[in-house]
Amino acid sequence: MTLDIRGSLKNTKPSRNRYVVFEELLSNALDSYLVRKTASGNIEPFEAKFEIALQSLNLFGDDFSACIRCSDNGAGMGKEQMAAFVTKDTSYKDDLAVPGIGKCKGTGRIQFFLHYEQVSIESVFEEEGRQYKVTAEYNAPRKLFSLEDFDVAATEGQSIGTTITLDRLRPEIKEPVYDTSDISQFFSADILRSHLFGAFVHRLVGLSETLGEFKIAIRSDIAGATEERAIIQSDLPNPDNIYPLKVFVKDPDTGEDTEDFRDISVAHYTLPVTEFDLKKNMIALCAKQTPVLEVTGKFLRTRAIESAPVNGNYHILLIEGAVFDDNVNENRDGFLGIPETPDSSGFLDTEKVSFDDVYKTIEPLVVRLLSPPTWTREQVVEEMASDFGLSEEMITDTVTRIQFGETAKDVAVRVLEKHQKKVIDTTEEILTMKSEILHLDPATPEFRDRVNDLAWKVTSAIDEIDKTNLSQLVVRRSAIIDILAHAKDLELTAQASESGARRRDESILHNIFFPRFTDSTETKDHDVWLLSEEYQYFDYITSDKQLSSMRLEGQVPLFDADVDEVLEAAFESTNSQFGGKRPDIALFTKEGAAVIVEFKAPGVGMQEHQNDLVEYANILCAKSNGQINRFYGYLVGNTIEPMRVFGWERFAKGGGYFRTADLKEPNTGHTIGQLYSEMLKYDDIVDRARTRIRAYRERLGLRSA
């Protein structure tokens, strides 16, 4: 029997697990001990000892070569074990009636040769009452390793067991496996103990009675710095619980669960930080009671969360099941035949359940077991609705899982990316269908079928696109409402005036609605919808600009040339700080309607200015030469003295007032127009805006803010 090392190196990929040789050595040591225990009965407890020596390869001390030695008190390497060692796809362990040994691929030790250039074996076994010592050594670049390379000689008085030494780490392994030239950080006794404890805790717990008062010693010597750690029986926790779960096979057409399923189980270990010196939490898919694929990062989204204890404890969740045992790859660092998603089209996939199915099945349990008090899924959903305008329906539509530790922003980015892709894909499909229809004969039945298909597709697409645009609108408008709500209470940072400086409260409030000293030819971005939705679509909007210069789409001037002087004269007697009086905001339409908005700073009594809107409207109506005769006026502030308000009606709800008035030509007294006015507090505008936006939120399925 011969092991083709060169062929194995060519046909077997190195494991991506940088600790694979440690896991393989300890796993084999445990198996060997179980063989001896079954054959001999009452023997000493299990012992394994790792010795790691790293030597610097340069003067800077940042590049090392590793040597690993593992000794155990197992059964040793007898004839059957030697034959199995040089047989790549051996079935030796499968035929052993030994409790605790599962099925295996028989290729794990190939990683010894993939990672190291020298593999040495020294073993003592017992047969028919006599002891034999076995030695063997492989050195690269030899091609073959066979039974003839084992030297077997009789001995006596020796301890039964095996020592395997791996020396001269292959240079080509360092970059792909360790991602760095400085590998010393991965080989300290402390780090190795933490990793092996997490990787083997489940199996060690299961074998605890069989192994007795076991000890797994770890000693590292890194450039002269020695460190020793150990794993002993008293370190082992009991699993808090083992949760049986069912992973259902999905219907490929509907995506719904079928009656077919795979049984899996999740073993949960809670390890207090005061008792267990671990470095991180771990969630792993296992095969034969050994972690194969760590998936912690799929649920604990950042390194910081992975490394942080949850409520004072580290947690280990080990997921097992026949689906993993049957599909583990020969490197024992992944699985073959299990698709990533239910709709995977990989022709090599043999399983009907996917990794995605597994993750969705265990996710509620993971969230329940590992969620700290400061994080809940419900909180993330609420923040997504309030901050990003994304409903839970949109999360479901895009098949987006909210994973433990994610922020609302994390999920929103993924939802919007998926949603946008759906919109793009649907739009592309619509364009393709349109192109096809142009080449169809209207006389054929296929023509009308495709037109019907297109109509349904467009209808569906409108809903998808509308949701995306509407969610952006809701978020933006919600932000504007919040800013206005803070500004009216003088809570914005910009409203913290310096000593002696003039306050800018009115100007700040003004700019929230529309930028001062601009008009709609200069900026299209404004928020006059706060007053009424229809004002968003007026033809022309201006703020604090000369009225004599206003025109609608190149028409003749909207007002007479002296309109600004007339306004100034009208208000000069009542406003000592006039400085060019004109409406704070004015909106106009070609149909002869205008909106006048006047803002008052917080604390200024609006009752003192209750007739300003009438004067504005009268003058603008008269100076427009009949172009404008319908006016809507708003006087906005936060202070009203009800006893000094005359001729206004109070709204049934809210603290505002309204009235209608005829506009008179100053000289003749003839009625030339109508004015509808409202005197509102900023609170009223905030409440109205929130009421209107609630309809949008309901359209998106969002909870009310």
> For 557-613, how does the pLDDT look when each residue is reduced to its tens digit (9 = 90+)?
888 888 888 887 777 655 544 334 677 888 888 788 889 999 988 888 999 998 889
Q: Is the pLDDT score of 227 beyond 90? A: yes
Under 8 Å between Cβ of 136 and 120: yes
Mean pLDDT of 182-201: 85
pLDDT classification of 446: cutoffs 50, 70, 90: confident
Angle at 53 between CA 187 and CA 275, to 5 degrees: 40
What does the pLDDT read at residue 501? 66
Domain assignment present for residue 380? The answer is no
Q: Are residues 167 and 36 in the same domain?
A: yes
Mean pLDDT of 470-475: 66
Q: Are residues 315 and 248 in the same domain?
A: yes
Mean pLDDT of 276-300: 82
Q: Give pLDDT tens digits for 91-123.
A: 556 656 666 665 554 457 788 888 899 999 999
What does the pLDDT read at residue 416? 77
What does the pLDDT read at residue 577? 44
pLDDT classification of 362: cutoffs 50, 70, 90: very high
d(CA 19, CA 173): 12
Locate 362 and state its tokens. 């265990």
Structural domain boundaries, residue 479: 396-485
Q: Is the pLDDT score of 702 beyond 70? A: no
From 455, 485, 515, the end of a domain falls on: 485
From residue 382, how far is each of 118, 133, 469, 557, 701 by CA, in Å? 59, 69, 19, 51, 12
Domain assignment present for residue 378? The answer is no
230-234, 302-306, 616-620 — which is least confidently predicted?
302-306
Q: Are residues 515 and 660 in the same domain?
A: yes
Q: Give pLDDT tens digits for 374-393.
A: 677 788 888 877 777 777 77
What does the pLDDT read at residue 55? 79
Non-local CB neighbours of 481 within 8 Å, separated by 6+ positions: 530, 686, 689, 690, 693
* Residue 370 φ/ψ, nearest 5 degrees: -110, 5
Q: Are residues 128 and 267 in the same domain?
A: no
Domain assignment present for residue 215? The answer is yes
Q: Are residues 252 and 199 in the same domain?
A: no
What does the pLDDT read at residue 578? 39
What does the pLDDT read at residue 572? 65
Note if the bond before 141 is cis, omega within 30 degrees. Answer: yes
Does 501 or 337 have the greater pLDDT score?
337
Q: Are residues 245 and 167 in the same domain?
A: no
What does the pLDDT read at residue 461? 59
Q: Give pLDDT tens digits for 116-142.
A: 999 999 999 999 889 999 999 999 888
Domain assignment present for residue 497? The answer is no
Under 8 Å between Cβ of 363 and 353: no
Domain assignment present for residue 263? The answer is yes
Q: Are residues 146 and 195 in the same domain?
A: yes
Under 8 Å between Cβ of 32 and 207: no
Q: Are residues 479 and 520 in the same domain?
A: no
- Total structural domains in the chain? 4
Does 333 or 196 have the greater pLDDT score?
196
SS3 at position 401: coil
pTM: 0.49
Domain assignment present for residue 110? The answer is yes
From 357, 386, 412, the end of a domain falls on: 357
Q: Are residues 201 and 138 in the same domain?
A: yes
Mean pLDDT of 628-656: 88
Q: Is the pLDDT score of 552 beyond 80? A: no
Domain assignment present for residue 660? The answer is yes
Q: Please provide the DSSP assignment of 51-105 as one string.
A: EEEEEE-STTS--EEEEEEEEE-S----HHHHHHHT-TT--TGGG---TT-----
Q: Are residues 225 and 274 in the same domain?
A: no
What does the pLDDT read at residue 579? 39
DSSP-assigned letter for residue 107: -
Q: Is the pLDDT score of 475 beyond 70? A: no
Across the chain, mean pLDDT equals 81
Locate 549 and state its tokens. 């210069």
Q: Please provide the DSSP assignment of 193-220 as one string.
A: HHHHHHHHHHHHHHTHHHH-S-EEEEEE
Does 47 or 672 have the greater pLDDT score?
47
From 232, 260, 282, the end of a domain falls on: 232
Domain assignment present for residue 693? The answer is no
Cβ neighbours, 10 Å, residue 128 = 4
Does 438 or 508 have the greater pLDDT score?
508
Does 268 or 406 have the greater pLDDT score?
268
d(CA 246, CA 265): 8
Pairing relationship of beta strands 657-664 and 649-650 according to DSSP bridges: antiparallel
Cβ neighbours, 10 Å, residue 37 = 23
Q: Are residues 14 and 91 in the same domain?
A: yes
Mean pLDDT of 680-684: 91
Mean pLDDT of 675-704: 80
Run of H or E including 477:
helix 445-488
Share of the chain above pLDDT 70, in %: 82
What does the pLDDT read at residue 405? 67
Q: Is the pLDDT score of 617 beyond 80? A: yes
What does the pLDDT read at residue 50? 97
Tell me the CATH number at 69.
Answer: 3.30.565
pLDDT classification of 154: cutoffs 50, 70, 90: very high
From residue 620, how far is each of 6, 99, 150, 556, 561 by CA, in Å? 95, 98, 109, 15, 12
Tell me the helices (H) and strands (E) count for the chain, helix number first.
19, 22
Q: Are residues 426 and 478 in the same domain?
A: yes
